[in-house]
Amino acid sequence: MRRAATRTDPRKDDKILLFLKAPRAGFVKTRIGKTLGDDQALDIYRWLVRRLMGALPKGAAVEIHFAPADAGKEMEDWLGSEVLYTPQCEGDLGDRMEHAVLAAFEGGAKSVVCLGADCPSLMPEDIKDVVSKLEKGADAVFGPTHDGGYYLLGLRHFHSEIFREIPWSTERTLEVSLDRAANAGLKVGLLDKKSDIDEAADWETFCRENPNIIPR
């Protein structure tokens, strides 16, 4: 397993950071697991991650920041050796994102895009749109979700303000993040609003609205 290679990887100026968990029953999609059971929640999580990987632009410089810290080989066995792996640091989501983003910029990245695996409607064009907005002068780009959070964050420079004192996983996550960005004087761009898969009802709605997509 290749760890902490983010500081020496010269392949791309634009980095995509994926924040993922090891595929373990009872550890992923726990809110879905309470309704549908841990095994089905795990199947859903695996499918969401596969869909996310398929939505990344070809040739992108991808770094997977995983949890828990002992899951490196497990993640590489699952997702392959064509990406870089590093364990997430301790702390809340803001701490973990801040640490990873700072390392990417210190390693020479010209832009950074942060993603989780909760948004099945993400497309390669969305990531290209983020990079385009950053190149045209946006300091930060958010992909809003219907529940008040965001599914994507793109940055042109490191800004610690947008990671700290944020009410994560609430209906005010995006609102407070935008306030932090405004107070820091950042120019912000927004993508189209999309839906996350957090609850069993979210999954059922997605399957009903996308009958031609059959999760395996």
Mean pLDDT of 70-97: 96
Sheet containing strand 84-87, strands side by side: 84-87, 61-67, 14-21, 111-115, 150-155, 140-144, 188-190
* CATH code, 204: 3.90.550.10
Q: Is residue 214 included in any domain, yes or no? A: no
Q: What is the pLDDT of residue 4?
A: 41
User: pLDDT per residue over 110-127, tens digit each?
Assistant: 999 999 999 999 999 999
Q: Is residue 18 included in any domain, yes or no? A: yes
Q: What is the pLDDT of residue 12?
A: 60
Could you check whether the bond before residue 68 is cis, i.e. omega within 30 degrees of 0? yes
Q: Is residue 215 included in any domain, yes or no? A: no
Beta bridge partners of 114: 17, 153
For residue 88 the two structure tokens come to: 């997430």
Q: State how many domains the chain has.
A: 1
C-alpha dihedral sign at 198, 199, 202, 203: positive
Residue-number span of the structural domain to which 104 is assigned: 5-209
Q: Is residue 90 included in any domain, yes or no? A: yes
For residue 71 the two structure tokens come to: 């899951």
Long-range contacts of 183-188 (CB under 8 A, 24+ apart): 184/159, 186/139, 186/140, 186/159, 186/162, 187/137, 187/138, 187/139, 187/140, 188/138, 188/139, 188/140, 188/141, 188/142
> What is the DSSP secondary structure assignment for residue 136, as one 8-state letter?
T
**3-class SS of residue 155:** strand
Mean pLDDT of 11-31: 92
Q: Is residue 32 included in any domain, yes or no? A: yes
Q: Given a cut of 50, is residue 153 above it in pLDDT?
A: yes
Q: Is residue 216 included in any domain, yes or no? A: no
Q: What is the pLDDT of residue 213?
A: 74
Q: Is residue 107 included in any domain, yes or no? A: yes
pTM given for the model: 0.91
Q: Given a cut of 50, is residue 9 above it in pLDDT?
A: no
Q: What is the pLDDT of residue 214?
A: 59
The CA-CA-CA angle for residues 176, 178, 180, to 5°, reads: 70
Q: Given a cut of 90, is residue 132 above it in pLDDT?
A: yes
Question: Which residue has better confidence, 1 or 96?
Answer: 96
Helix axes 38-55, 124-135, angle to 10 degrees: 50
* CA–CA separation, 100 and 186 (whole Å): 20
